[in-house]
Structure 1
């Protein structure tokens, strides 16, 4: 039986997530349901895309990913099912798929057309679950929708390199549960522009001249514990997705604070890398 994942902005307080899971089990009693996240900021497509992009590849091919973010049906927000990279995605055509397809072309896209058979004011529960059940039972996309070739485009925020290739201007694209800041500056771009040169990363008043591989790399474990700079230690590192991340070692947003609050950074704020210019 295929795995069905759920990514929504429903939160945990209300009945929505439980109702969707119940509907899936009513369709498929032996379903395997995995929660990716239900804590997406409301209607935040960039945040949802970042989380899904970094999670779906860990699942086996054939997994069905239900995305319940900005999913209400209207003339400008159709429902689609997509086969891409061996995975199925069921969501609204609100631009979120376009942010996942920057490097991968979809193998098949259909506009879901089963709405005339379903009375629904909760599309994730009534429509997306029906489509997921159909796919999980081996059904084809052609049965539940008509082929389309174009989807709504919502371009992700991209870093800018100056003409002299001495500077990368990036942006905050995600803030995680620890308050750590993830930028859109990838390791491949950084290395191709930097060419091993010294650099300074600037994010408002915070500055960094080293990028670590692990959080603990910023701590000098040769010193006795009482002499180490740990609490509140700021650092830059390449995260598991090879994006430049700014963090506070062992941060806790409710106590010492996280990088986002301590550096005063929010979604879309600027992060700049300046490389040393050789004379």
Structure 2
């Protein structure tokens, strides 16, 4: 039985997530369900795209990913099902899938058109679950929809380059549970324009001239503890998804704060890299 994952902005206070799981188990008693996240900020398709792109590849091929963010169908927000990189995605055509399709060409894309859908206020339950269970039973995408070729993109994920290739202008696309802020500047993009040069990263009044590969790289263990940088100090690094991230080492939003609160950085704020 294929794994079915759930990624939503439903939270856990309400009954919505429980309904999704119960509906799946009713149709597929042996189903394997994995929660990726239910704490996506409401209707934040950029946040969802980042989480989905960096999580799906850790599941086996054939997994089915239900994406319940901004899922109400409209003439401009069609329900779609896709096969990409050996994985199935059931979502709305709101751009969420664009971060994956920018790197991986879809093998199949259909606009969902199942018979007698319940056109209510809970389309993830009424439509997406039915499609996921159909696929999990070995069904094909051709049965649940017709070919579709108008996928939306998320342009905010692409940084711009100015000053004859001497400056990258990016933005913050995600704030994690620790208050670390993730930019849309990927390591490959950064290195393509760096060409061995020095650089300065700037976000509001903060300037950084070194990007680390892991959090603890900020510590020089050859120094006495009293002279080292450590908990509470700012650093930049290429995170596990290879995007430039600004972090406070060992931060805690509930006590000392994180990069987002201490630096006053929020979603869509500008981050620049100037090559020297």
TM-score above 0.5, yes or no: yes
1:115–1:127: 8 Å Cα contact kept in structure 2?
A: no
Equivalent-residue separation in structure 2 for 1:247 and 1:42 (angstroms): 24
Query: Which residue number corresponds to residue 183 of structure 1?
Result: 183
Query: Which residue number corresponds to residue 22 of structure 2?
Result: 22
1:90 alignment partner, SS class: strand
Give unpaired runs (5+ residues) of structure 1: none
Query: Which residue number corresponds to residue 4 of structure 1?
Result: 4
Query: Which residue number corresponds to residue 216 of structure 1?
Result: 216
Equivalent residues in 2 for 1:139-158 (5 A)? 139-158=139-158
1:10 alignment partner, SS class: coil
What do residues 175-219 of structure 1 show as CA deviations (whole Å, max 9, x unaligned)? Answer: 111000111111112112111211111111111111111101101
Query: Which residue number corresponds to residue 60 of structure 1?
Result: 60
Query: Which residue number corresponds to residue 51 of structure 1?
Result: 51
* Alpha-carbon offset, residue 100 of structure 1: 2.2
Give unpaired runs (5+ residues) of structure 2: none
Say if 2:63 is the partner of 1:77: no
2:110 alignment partner, SS class: strand
What do residues 223-264 of structure 1 show as CA deviations (whole Å, max 9, x unaligned)? Answer: 444543323110011111111111000000111110011111
* Alpha-carbon offset, residue 74 of structure 1: 2.3
Equivalent-residue separation in structure 1 for 2:189 and 2:144 (angstroms): 41
Equivalent-residue separation in structure 2 for 1:157 and 1:214 (angstroms): 23
2:213 alignment partner, SS class: coil
1:146 alignment partner, SS class: strand
* Alpha-carbon offset, residue 30 of structure 1: 0.6
Cα distance 1:31–1:119, how it changes in 2: closer, same or farther (>3 A)?
A: same
* Alpha-carbon offset, residue 77 of structure 1: 1.8
2:117–2:127: 8 Å Cα contact kept in structure 1?
A: no
Choose 237-246 or 226-235, whichever is displaced more. Answer: 226-235
Equivalent-residue separation in structure 2 for 1:154 and 1:217 (angstroms): 32
RMSD value, Cα: 1.4
Choose 109-118 or 74-83, whichever is displaced more. Answer: 109-118
Equivalent-residue separation in structure 2 for 1:211 and 1:151 (angstroms): 34
Say if 2:198 is the partner of 1:198: yes
1:64–1:88: 8 Å Cα contact kept in structure 2?
A: yes
Equivalent-residue separation in structure 1 for 2:95 and 2:213 (angstroms): 32
The alignment covers a number of residue pairs equal to: 276
TM-score (norm 1): 0.94
2:21 alignment partner, SS class: helix
